Structure 1
């Protein structure tokens, strides 16, 4: 690789790190070319070399957010069915400092996504994928006899995601009342209720 290419890749990495720093500290509302330049200790002109405007900057920021979400440490899926469903729920919760930051940035992105058709469609598709993964775990649980055959996978997946996101929001706004241990306890109690209600 040529030195020029190496320098370009290193500089783009620095820009991406600065974008994430601004997101983590100020959310999407504070994400501007000037803010990214300030985080880098560079000129705005350098940043505009990488982004033609705010829309390109936001698109890159969302790519970074998705990549960090996928790369963060997660509980493994120990076995199909309810064990996987439990891991999926816990993996979405803000149980670590990194999890708090990632969830905060996602919540910050909602307002923007509701106002932009392209971002709205992307966020809708993302939640469809999450529900599909949860639905697969529920279907496996039915197949394994952990849930009755009458349990509706789509409804249970939507219920699980609704509970989890509700808990995420409460934990972000009131972390003192919802520390990690309480989040885990509430998640365990909820999943126990899901098992019981599905059998009713």
Structure 2
């Protein structure tokens, strides 16, 4: 018999915690109904009341990962323009153990998302939203003279996300080569280079 609505909501929270536990330990490759059921100490039959298919479980896991990412502590936005862009991109990088674990889970999800057309669209939408949150701050940087007047901020937002996620992957695979200090230095060089065609001194970034 399916659980009552109130019990279902409480149980779904338990399920989400179990899904997150499995993701943190095994990544998406190890995310199965059996693994989540074992983490909860229940049968796979009970779990199938919530996730009748593996795809439903994966979709929930991706939504949960996005929610956990959005709710994580963020750096203060120090000033309009590039200083805020810098803080936003630092929030993405694997600079702490928690950030590293979260990024490992994200990267492990890519293979599954690429193999499923629906999940591919959802992942593309996540990148669209990320670029859209960065772009207004690049517009502000352009208005402040930190970027050239002819800067295409849509294109620069795409470049910033591509650069940052490329750095994430390198840091995950080679943490000794890309420790926190090196990641921050490379990000600062990227942002400074974005403003090198503007007037002298205008691209100086306020350090957080």
- The alignment's TM-score, normalised by the length of structure 2, stands at 0.87
Partner of 1:138: 138
Partner of 2:203: none
Partner of 1:49: 49
Q: Provide structure 1 residue ranges, at least 5 long, that are not aligned to the other structure.
A: none
Distance apart, 1:181 and its partner CA? 2.2
Q: Please report the RMSD computed on the Cα atoms of aligned residues, expressed in angstroms.
A: 1.8
Distance apart, 1:54 and its partner CA? 0.5
Q: How many residues align?
A: 197
Partner of 1:155: 155
The range that moved more, 87-96 or 42-51, is 42-51
Partner of 1:15: 15
Partner of 1:33: 33
Tell me, in whole angstroms, the C-alpha distance in 2 between the residues paired with 1:105 and 1:198.
Answer: 38
Distance apart, 1:108 and its partner CA? 1.2
1:6-53 alpha-carbon deviations (Å, 9 max, x no partner):
544332222111101111111111111000011112222221122111
Tell me, in whole angstroms, the C-alpha distance in 2 between the residues paired with 1:99 and 1:199.
Answer: 36
Change beyond 3 A, Cα 1:198–1:157: farther
Q: Does 1:112 align with 2:112?
A: yes
Q: Provide structure 2 residue ranges, at least 5 long, that are not aligned to the other structure.
A: 201-208
The range that moved more, 177-186 or 135-144, is 177-186
Distance apart, 1:165 and its partner CA? 0.7
Tell me, in whole angstroms, the C-alpha distance in 2 between the residues paired with 1:154 and 1:199.
Answer: 21
Distance apart, 1:150 and its partner CA? 1.6
Tell me, in whole angstroms, the C-alpha distance in 2 between the residues paired with 1:199 and 1:59.
Answer: 47
Tell me, in whole angstroms, the C-alpha distance in 1 between the residues paired with 2:115 and 2:8.
Answer: 34
The question of whether the paired residues in 2 share the 8 Å contact of 1:151 and 1:198 is answered with no
Superposed, which structure 2 residues align to 1:181-200 within 5 Å? 181-197=181-197
SS in 2 for 1:196: coil
Distance apart, 1:134 and its partner CA? 2.1
Distance apart, 1:133 and its partner CA? 2.0
1:44-75 alpha-carbon deviations (Å, 9 max, x no partner):
22211221110111111111101101001111
